[in-house]
A and B are shown apart, each in its own frame.
Chain A
Amino acid sequence: MGNIQLFPVQGSTLAPEVDHLLYFLLAVSAFFTVLIFCAIFYLAIRYRRRAANELPEAGHTGYTLEILWSVIPFGIAMVMFTWGASVFFNAARPPADSIQIYVVGKQWMWKLEHMEGRREINELHIPVGRPVRLTMTSEDVIHSFFVPAFRTKQDVVPGRYSTVWFQATKPGKYHLFCAEYCGTNHSAMIGWVYAMEPADYENWLSGGMAEGSLADNGKKLFESLACVNCHKPDNTGRCPNLQGVFGSTVHLTGGATVKADEAYVRESILYPEAKIVAGYEPVMPTFQGIVTEDQILQLIEYVRSLAPKPGATAAPSSPAAAETKTSPGAAPAKR
């Protein structure tokens, strides 16, 4: 029957925070449960019927009591709300220096891709002591990425990128579960997260059959899919120059703006007519059915690699322009 275990291991910086909230909730719950159980037992025995024709006095509504037992629980509930919300919001914002890893869920496996090019299935290797940010999408139905030792989970939705981050605190092997029911082999869509010492992680990362970094592969795709014929780096193409676009604000036909993030790049590849950059014609064909979710992620990484690196602000030409009002789309319009 295996060993009896009644509490999950704490594997992340978030885990103790969630557990402390648990202790508080447990203490409050235990207090009220014991209070109600004892009150019922005591009152039921103390006031048990002693004569068949007993008629107790009716008594009156005690407004003080009613107010007390509404206001006090409400106050405690607000503490729970605030505490729960603060844990959640701490967990919602990935630190800027997070390691970026991509996750694609499909019936019934997890595909994970490291920036440096290593790919894994149902296994995720991460270093301890460094925040790791997962950007996730699904090829089919909704899945949910759940690592109990890290006390966090996030649904993985087709057509969207969702993110989750964590920082492992000690080396170990932790369960990875799919927590959103996804069909026949839902309970087999499981795997392991290996948290490693940073040096071991670096070793692991450089080993294996890496086939170039995500961005490199994205560049190859960008060329083989002939994207480069129109998205020219010298602003002479029929489509916007993508240098420095990622992370910038893009001006669209009709005056709207959009932040160039993962979702925007994905949409532009699959539904190019959805948002047209100001000054350009809707000439791009859709790549639906041509590129896979994995390949879209490689393309995104390639486009991201064209963005100005933080700290490279002194660059004289276009990368800096991305941060200013001159959007990459506006410049060639004067052509």
Chain B
Amino acid sequence: MQHTAEREHYLNASYGLKSWLLTKDHKRIGLLYLFTITLFFFIGGAFATLIRIELLTPQGDLVSSDTYNKLFTMHAIMMIFFFMIPSIPAVLGNFFLPIMIGARDLAFPRINLLSWYLLVAGGAFALFAMIAGGVDTGWTFYTPYSTTYSNGWVVATALGIFVAGFSSILTGLNFIVTVHRMRAPGMTWFRMPLFVWANYATSLIQVLGTPVLAVTIVLLFVERVFHLGIFDPARGGDPVLFQHLFWFYSHPAVYIMVLPGMGVVSELISTFSRKPVFGYGFVAFSSVAIAVLGFLVWGHHLFVSTQSAFAGLMFSFLSYFVAIPSAIKVFNWTATLYKGSITFETPMLYAFGFIGLFTIGGLTGLFLAALGMDIHVTDTYFVVAHFHYVMVGGTIMAFLGGMHFWWPKITGRMYPEGWARLSALIIFIGFNLTFFPQFILGYMGMPRRYHAYPPEFQVLNVLSTAGASVLAVGYLLPMIYFAWSLKYGKVAGANPWGATGLEWQTASPPPVHNFDRIPIVTHEAYDYSTVHEEEIQVG
């Protein structure tokens, strides 16, 4: 390490709280997001811990029913709206999307900072509601329970989500404009890394879908406060209409959560097998296809809601279409390995974990899309297991993989490889132990959101709780060694993995304006012959 005349980069260019809170640098904003969502993740995780401890025994004995109902509600609200939706786009996308297309920043740096403040404000609303007494409607806020019967802090929580939604819309808008307008010379659409494609598709959903959530929350608000009767059958309203509006956003939101993770996995698989992603065009367009089709399938959440049987038929049919672009991705990632040069650093382990768990999560989605199967397993633990395989096994695996992959670029330091591999393994085992038994519980008929349950379900619940404690260790370890590596980690070069993206052609950590000279792109994405000579000797 050389301490003399340290190179200026985005971290040491200025100091002090103000230089962070008023920064317009997309990289610093990315880190602000990282701290914020990590906080929300551990709050959501604390709720999950209490839920799993309660479910160790069939009786509701640790907390009261009301408290339990608040715990699963707030767990989901924290994890979905304040951790999962911003996670990969707002942290890794914010930091790397501009660099990966050779831009000096996002198109609207001030709006980018505003997005972060909106997330913080929304999160503060939601946290206030939780401290003030909590909310017990489930994250789905189904009417008329949420509008007439619940005594919780429904309005404050919903307003928090409303405000955070604008953060999501503005981030999406910023990404779309940036990708259209700020690409470096030679960076054509089909030379963009797949991570950029995935975030672009995600941004489309954020911009088009989130306003519907905003409208739904406004309707919920006026119904609860002014009793307009939109969702109230006693006033001629329709409670099921709320479910249509809610899922019109919240099903596409699932793809907001998982598409960026797919983008990360494409980068990881390519880098650690030193090969372009097989079927680049198919993988790129499958992201857009998922984004578009995602808007046409919301009714598969309503098969037993009294929705007409014909509508159910159409939504089931359309839901199977989404399976195809997802399958295309999994097959192409696997095919990328063929005749590659594969190494097993931590990010690659997470990528393998993602593919395996997403495969299970995706396939069990086919169970739920089948009408005759859904009438049995909907609203049971089968659904809980399915979406945790996609969201936790998929998105969080990808997020952690991405964090390890780009950690040297973000901080200029390597994380300790041994510990990181160990924690990846612990997370994989803990995850499966936690959530696989829930598939069986669901098929046996254990309904979700149950504070107490019949004794025959206990064995599987105990397994699940045991798995959750393993999983918790797996999530805490990276917190420790990442922090440790800031001071003691090996200094990373510009391109420790021999990767191809433009982010690896600038220093680690990157200079304030990302590049000393704007790069001119002359190659396709993932052309490893370009990094070959310079990198391999260093590595």
Contacts and interface: CB of A to CB of B under 8 A. Distances in A.
Contacts of A98: none
Interface range on chain B (Cβ under 8 Å from partner): 35 or more
Contacts, number: 288
B330 interface: yes
A6 B443 CA distance: 9
5 contacts: A52-B539, A69-B331, A153-B375, A181-B448, A187-B60
A154 interface: yes
Contacts of B371: 84-85, 87-89
A40 B342 CA distance: 11
Interface string B448-468: 111111111011001000000
A36 B356 contact: yes
B447 interface: yes
A305 to B, nearest CB: 26
Given A87-B370, A179-B448, A288-B234, 10 more contacts: A8-B443, A36-B330, A40-B355, A47-B337, A58-B528, A61-B282, A81-B317, A142-B142, A151-B376, A181-B138
A74 B317 CA distance: 11
A2 to B, nearest CB: 4
Nearest to A36: B359
A2 B459 CA distance: 8
Contact of B372 (A70, A85, A271): A85
Contacts of B240: 157
A53 to B, nearest CB: 4
A54 B306 CA distance: 60
A141 B330 contact: no
Contact of B363 (A29, A55, A159, A288): A29
B539 A70 contact: no
A285 B448 CA distance: 42
Interface stretch (B92-100, B144-152, B244-252, B510-518): B144-152
Contacts of A1: 455, 458-459, 462
A255 interface: no
Interface in B149-175: 149-150
B375 A70 contact: no
A54 B341 CA distance: 7
B492 interface: no
Contacts of B454: 175, 190
Interface in A39-56: 39-40, 43-44, 47-50, 52-56
Contact of B144 (A3, A78, A90, A140): A140
Interface stretch (B16-24, B79-87, B270-278): B270-278
B65 A66 contact: no
Interface of A is mostly: mixed
B522 interface: no
A144 B334 CA distance: 42
Given A36-B334, A84-B369, A73 B341 contact: no
Interface of A: 1-8, 17-18, 21-22, 25, 28-29, 32-33, 36-37, 39-40, 43-44, 47-50, 52-59, 61-62, 65-66, 69-70, 73-74, 77-78, 80-81, 83-92, 107, 140-142, 144, 146, 148-149, 151-155, 157-160, 162, 175, 177-188, 190, 271, 288
B335 interface: yes
B304 A153 contact: yes
Given A88-B375, A178-B447, A4 B239 contact: no
In order of increasing CB-CB distance, the 5 nearest A-B pairs are A148-B445, A159-B233, A87-B372, A84-B370, A88-B371
Contacts of B330: 36
A36 B355 contact: yes
Nearest to B526: A58
A159 B239 contact: yes
Secondary structure dominating the interface of B = helix
B489 to A, nearest CB: 21
A83 B366 CA distance: 12
A85 B445 contact: no
A177 B49 CA distance: 25
Contacts of B69: 181, 183-184, 186
Contacts of A66: 279, 282, 328, 332
Interface in B130-144: 136, 138, 140, 142, 144
B444 A5 contact: yes
A49 B239 contact: no
Contact of A25 (B366, B440, B458): B366
B368 to A, nearest CB: 10
A87 B454 CA distance: 28
Interface stretch (B176-184, B197-205, B219-227, B319-327): B319-327
Interface stretch (B207-215, B308-316, B423-431): B308-316
A133 to B, nearest CB: 15
Given A44-B344, A87-B372, A77 B323 contact: yes
B418 interface: no
A80 B366 contact: yes
Contacts of B455: 1-2
A88 B372 contact: yes
A160 B233 contact: yes
B342 A49 contact: yes
A80 B145 contact: no
Contacts of B447: 146, 177-179, 187
B309 A69 contact: no
Contact of A33 (B363, B443, B537): B363
Contacts of A48: 341-344
Contacts of A18: 372-373, 375-376
Contacts of B537: 53
B293 to A, nearest CB: 13
A57 B339 contact: yes
A267 to B, nearest CB: 10
Q: Which of B280, B330, B532 has the most CB of A within 10 A?
A: B330
Contact of B373 (A25, A56, A271): A25
B481 interface: no
Contacts of A47: 273, 337-342
Given A21-B370, A77-B366, A84-B370, A181 B343 contact: no
Contact of B320 (A78, A89, A154): A78
Q: Which of A29, A83, A288 lies at the interface centre, i.e. has the most chain B CB atoms within 10 A of its CB?
A: A29
Nearest to A32: B363
